[in-house]
């Protein structure tokens, strides 16, 4: 009865759909090693997250989201094998070996970059692909797909929108951190394509508490930039915006831009900082995710972390490909179909290099929350790709 209740509550979440299969050769001939999936021979999929240790709460929430997708999408043709990584590389490696020994044909997870690095060679040796939750692009490739929200797509989308509104001169304000490096590199890479210039890059210690120092460096440049990209989220973004305004960088003249770090319902207070009102950032369209978050809370009695949608979408990919009836449901032609998938986080597709492309909306910060100012594209053709 409880299972039926959960299934009824979650039916509206079923958004991930399989694209048409791309042209390819004949289907592989079934063998004893690859039986057709059914209730007697379900396809086994490993789900590796920390279920103990410091990150157990996040891992459990992601497993709960995966269970939601399983109820919504999988039927009886797929079996999820949850395994505890303990939040360590050794734990992740042990979990992967155990799941593979039990017949897992796809690995979903792990969560952290170091854990993914430990699992990758084990999965490669077994000929099994990995849908990892990390946003570390260095882990992508050779059958490992990075599902985490990497800043490059977000920076390109919001900068491209700013360019369409006449912005050609950018400044980047970023901490000296791997994330800051990624934002700076993305801005400098897309400039030639957009016909824009990054005229100033200001870096600072990520632990600095006095944000007026980097803000003054931006304010003193003549002429001032037309837009400033901030590689921070939450209270740090608020503090930098306030410091910029205090030092003469007015949001009425200089547009502030952000990354996916702003895309978190727990950061709804961004608009309480006047200097951030009107700022833009790129993120998945929020409507479908909001419905999922409401239903997750209804079922489990708590709010999910932002990245729980990754677990739902990854499990749904496995489910819809399993339902195709292929004896090899996770072949890379199907996984990397150029039409992509539609999930809780909108349009996305897996690339052959292991990265994920996403169709993002552009959001504007308001005092009462974020609003969509440029919708996410419905197809990759709309992106010219």
Greater model confidence, 324 or 385? 324
Does the structure show a pLDDT above 80 at 7? no
Q: What is the pLDDT of residue 316?
A: 93
How many residues are recorded in the chain?
Answer: 385
The DSSP result for 43-88, as a single string, is EEEEEEE--SSTTHHHHHHHHHHHHHHIIIIITTSEEEEEEE-TTS
Query: Which phi and psi (to 5°) does residue 42 adopt?
Result: -70, 150
CA distance 312 to 116: 19
pLDDT at 18 over 70: no
Lowest mean pLDDT among 37-51, 237-251, 269-283: 37-51
| Per-residue pLDDT, 36 | 57
More confident call, 95 vs 271: 95
Report the chain's mean pLDDT, rounded to a whole number.
Answer: 86
Cβ neighbour number for residue 138 with a 10 Å cutoff: 11
Top pLDDT among 136 and 16 is at 136
- Cβ-proximal residues to 23 (8 Å cutoff; 6+ apart), any chain: none
Q: Is the pLDDT of residue 13 over 80?
A: no
Question: What proportion of the chain, given as a percentage, has pLDDT over 90?
Answer: 66
pLDDT exceeds cutoff 80 at 305: yes
Q: Report the chain's C-alpha Rg in angstroms.
A: 22
- pLDDT over 90 at 17, yes or no: no
- Kindly tell me the sign of the dihedral angle through the C-alpha atoms of 6, 8, 11, 12: negative
Helix/strand/coil for 293 = helix
Full strand arrangement of the beta sheet holding 130-132: 78-84, 43-49, 106-108, 130-132, 144-146
Q: What is the pLDDT of residue 271?
A: 86
- For residues 339 and 118, the model is more confident at 118
For residues 106-123, average pLDDT: 97
Report pLDDT for 236. Answer: 92
pLDDT of 32: 43
| Residue 85 scores a pLDDT above 50 | yes
d(CA 225, CA 241): 14
22 pLDDT above the threshold of 50: no
Q: Which residue has the higher pLDDT, 222 or 32?
A: 222
Q: List, for residues 306-318, the tens digit of each pLDDT value.
A: 999 999 999 999 9
Q: What average pLDDT does this structure show over 95-122?
A: 97
For residue 77, pLDDT beyond 60: yes
Give percent of the chain above pLDDT 70. Answer: 87
Say if residue 341 is exposed, middle or buried (CB neighbours under 10 Å; 0-12, 13-18, 19+): buried
pLDDT for residue 266 is more than 60 = no
> What per-residue confidence (pLDDT) applies to 352?
94
pLDDT at 23 over 50: no
pLDDT at residue 27 tops 50: no
Whose tokens are 């547009």? That residue is: 255
Strand 346-350 vs strand 341-343: parallel, antiparallel, or unpaired?
antiparallel
Averaged pLDDT, 95-113: 97
Residues 159-180: tens digit of each pLDDT: 999 999 999 999 999 999 999 9
Contact 348, 341 (CB under 8 A): yes
Say how far apart CA 158 and CA 229 lie, in whole Å: 9
- Max mean pLDDT among 47-51, 341-345, 368-372 falls in 47-51
| Among the ranges given (135-139, 235-239, 285-289), the one the predictor scored with the smallest mean pLDDT | 285-289
Domains of the chain with bracketed CATH = 40-148+286-358 (3.40.50.2300), 151-285+361-382 (3.40.50.2300)
So what's the pLDDT on residue 382?
Answer: 59
pTM greater than 0.85? no
Contact 314, 147 (CB under 8 A): yes
Which ranges constitute the DSSP H helices of the chain?
2-10, 56-69, 89-101, 113-126, 151-164, 178-194, 212-219, 234-246, 286-300, 308-322, 332-335
**pLDDT value, residue 169:** 95
Among 57-66, 90-99, 283-292, 349-358, whose mean pLDDT is lowest? 283-292
């Amino acid at each position: 009865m409880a299972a039926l209740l959960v299934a009824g509550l979650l039916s509206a979440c079923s958004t991930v759909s399989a694209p048409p299969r791309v042209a390819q050769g004949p289907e592989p001939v079934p063998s004893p090693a690859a039986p057709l999936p059914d209730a007697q021979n379900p396809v086994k999929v490993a789900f590796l997250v920390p279920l103990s240790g410091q990150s157990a709460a996040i891992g459990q929430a992601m497993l709960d989201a995966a269970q939601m997708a399983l109820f919504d999408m999988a039927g009886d043709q797929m079996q999820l094998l949850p395994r505890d990584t303990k939040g360590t590389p050794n734990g992740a490696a042990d979990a992967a070996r155990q799941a593979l020994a039990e017949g897992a044909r796809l690995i979903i997870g792990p969560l952290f970059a170091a854990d993914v690095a430990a699992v990758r060679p084990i999965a490669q040796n077994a000929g099994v692909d990995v849908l990892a939750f990390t946003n570390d692009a260095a882990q992508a490739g050779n059958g490992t797909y990075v599902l985490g929200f990497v800043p490059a797509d977000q920076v390109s989308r919001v900068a491209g929108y700013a360019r369409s509104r006449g912005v050609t001169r950018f400044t980047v304000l970023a901490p000296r951190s791997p994330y800051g490096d990624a934002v700076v590199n993305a801005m400098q890479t897309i400039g030639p394509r957009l016909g824009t210039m990054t005229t100033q890059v200001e870096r600072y210690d990520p632990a600095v508490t006095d944000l007026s120092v980097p803000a003054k460096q931006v304010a003193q440049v003549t002429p001032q930039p037309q837009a400033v990209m901030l590689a921070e989220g939450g209270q740090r973004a608020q503090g930098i915006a306030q410091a910029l305004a205090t030092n003469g960088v007015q949001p009425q003249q200089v547009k502030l831009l952000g990354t996916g770090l702003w895309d978190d319902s727990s950061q709804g207070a961004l608009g309480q900082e006047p200097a951030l009102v009107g700022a833009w950032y790129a993120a998945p369209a929020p409507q479908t995710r909001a419905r999922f978050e409401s239903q997750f809370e209804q079922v489990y009695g708590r709010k999910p972390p932002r990245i729980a949608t990754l677990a739902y979408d990854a499990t749904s990919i496995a489910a819809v490909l399993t339902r195709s009836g292929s004896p090899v449901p996770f072949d890379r032609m199907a996984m990397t179909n150029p039409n992509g998938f539609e999930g809780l986080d909108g349009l996305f597709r897996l690339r052959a290099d292991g990265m994920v492309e996403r169709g993002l909306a552009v959001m504007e910060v308001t005092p009462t929350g974020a609003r969509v100012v440029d919708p996410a594209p419905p197809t990759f053709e709309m992106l010219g790709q």
